[in-house]
Amino acid sequence: MKQLKLPMDSIDCRYYQDCDAPMCPKDINFGRCLWFPGEPTCRLRAVPDWVIKQKRIAKLPNIDPNKYFTLRMLNSVKQVDNDLQGIDPEYFGGDRLWLSKRSIKVGKTKSEDGQINSDSDAKPQENVGNYPLF
């Protein structure tokens, strides 16, 4: 079932009528949708990178199908690995907290002696919710 109903002349996709993917790159509001790993993905050949990541995430053996991903989360994933999990729908905090925790985790690595070092290539952590007014 589609989350957004648009007239067919505004969607240029041959699969749109029969597609059940909740996040369609052709929809204008797909950025507000949620995707669970058990749900279908876009079937077009030429798709954005986030759809490719969806397909890789769905193939992970230990992925929890009850945890969702948003467009912002999918765009922030650099590499799909076995540690990747979505957000629990009952968890209050949403993707903003997931993104901040992930940036901390990605920005730090362990050295040979077991100490944690920050990557110089990693983006600095944003202070979520603490924005200056002026």
Domain membership flag for residue 2: no
Q: Which domain holds residue 95?
A: 8-118
Domain membership flag for residue 133: no
Domain membership flag for residue 125: no
In angstroms, rounded to a whole number, what is the distance separating the alpha carbons of residues 43 and 25? 11
Residue 8 carries which side chain, given as an amino acid letter?
Answer: M
**pTM of the predicted structure, to 2 decimals:** 0.66
Residue 107 carries which side chain, given as an amino acid letter?
Answer: G
Domain membership flag for residue 72: yes
The pLDDT tens digits for 18-60 are 888 888 887 777 777 889 999 999 888 888 899 999 999 999 9
Domain membership flag for residue 129: no
Q: What is the dihedral of CA 125, 127, 128, 133, to 10 degrees?
A: -140
Tell me whether residue 35 is exposed, middle or buried, using C-beta atoms within 10 angstroms of its C-beta: 0 to 12, 13 to 18, 19 or more: buried
The domain tally of the chain equals 1
Q: Are 17 and 8 in contact (CB under 8 A)?
A: yes
